[in-house]
Amino acid sequence: MWSIGIYAGNSPLSLSPDAHNPVLTARQVTDVDAYYVADPFLLYDEHADHSKWHMFFEVLIRAARRGVIGHATSSDARIWKYDRVVLEEPFHLAYPQVFAWENRVYLLPETLDHNAVRLYEATDFPSQFQPAADLISGRWADPTIFHHQGLWWLLACSTPFENRTLHLFFAEHLRGPWQAHPRNPIVADDRRIARPGGRVRVVNQRLIRFAQDCEPRYGSRLRAIEILHLSPTEYEERECEESPVLQPGGGGWNSVGMHHMDANQLADGSWIASVDGDTFQPGPDEAYA
C-alpha cells in the first residue's frame, strides 16, 4: 500500500533516501482504521521548542474508502510521531498542501466531491482547520497553489480518474476571485505530466512543477517540469533533463510506484522532501492517493 518516506539532497531534482524508510505507514495511525497513508506535505515551525516539523497527509479509512487528513510531528524530519486526524469531511480528502501566509496557516486539500476547491484556515494549529473559501468550482484533482511574482497561481487536474488534463488559474488575492488562464488546458492529453505531484518550487532560479506519471499505471513515477513563461496571458513549459526525479525502488515500500514530493530547502541550502511509495497495482476503484 502507499506509505511515506523521506529523501534529501542538494536539489529536488536529485534526491535520495535519507531515513529508515518508510517513516510513516498505516500501521502507525491510531485513531482510525487506516488502509494507507500518502500525499505528505511538510511545514517547518521555527518558533517551536521541540517538534519543529509538521507533516500533513492523506489517511484512507479502510472500511469507508474515504480520505481524511492526518498529522505527524518530528524534531529532525527523519523520525516521525503520528498525532491524529485533524480534518475530516463527509467527502474524500487528499493531497493536503499546507502553507503559511501573512502569519496564518492554510490547508488546500483535494476536495473533489465538494464540487469545488476548498481552502481551509487553521483556527488552532495544528489540530483544527475551518473552511475559509471555495476558490474554484468543479471537480479538480490535486490542486497545487503557489505565489509567484505578485500573483497566486493554482494548477489542478480536470480529469481526476483519467489523469490527462491540467488547467491553470490565477488571482491577485489568496481567496480570489480566481480566473482561468486563457491558455487552458495547459496540458491537453498526456497522462505522463498532467496530474500535479507536489508543491511548485524555485530551484536555482528555475520554476519547477512536479507531475505524476500515470503511464503505464497510476502513480508510476514523478516527473519535473520547468515553467519557462508564466503570466496572465502566456504559459510555456518543458520537461527537465533530470526528469523523472522519483522512480520505484524495485522492492520494498516503494516497489511499484512513487507519485509525490514536497521538497523544502534548509538553511544550509540543502533540501529535504517527504515522498510516498506504493507496493501493489491498484484496481480501478483503488487509485485514491
User: Cα–Cα–Cα angle for 102, 107, 111, nearest 5°?
Assistant: 145
pLDDT for 287 beyond 60: no
What's the mean pLDDT when you consider all of the chain? 95
pTM (2 d.p.): 0.96
Q: How far is CA 264 from the centre of its chain?
A: 12
Write down the domain spans for the chain. Answer: 3-277
pLDDT digits (tens, 9 = 90+) for 159-174: 999 999 999 999 999 9
Provide, rounded to the nearest whole percent, the portion of the chain with pLDDT above 70: 97
Predicted confidence band at 271 (pLDDT cuts at 50, 70, 90)? very high
Sign of the dihedral through C-alpha 192, 197, 199, 202: negative
pLDDT digits (tens, 9 = 90+) for 18-57: 999 999 999 999 999 999 999 999 999 988 777 799 999 9
pLDDT for 62 beyond 50: yes
Give the span between the Cα atoms of 196 and 261, in whole angstroms.
10
pLDDT digits (tens, 9 = 90+) for 201-218: 999 999 999 999 999 999
Look-up of cell digits 484533482 = 141
pLDDT of residue 280: 73
C-alpha cell at 166: 491540467
Specify whether domain 3-277 bears CATH 1.10.132.20.
no
The answer to whether 268 touches 262, Cβ cutoff 8 Å, is no
Look-up of cell digits 521555527 = 46
C-alpha cell at 104: 496564518
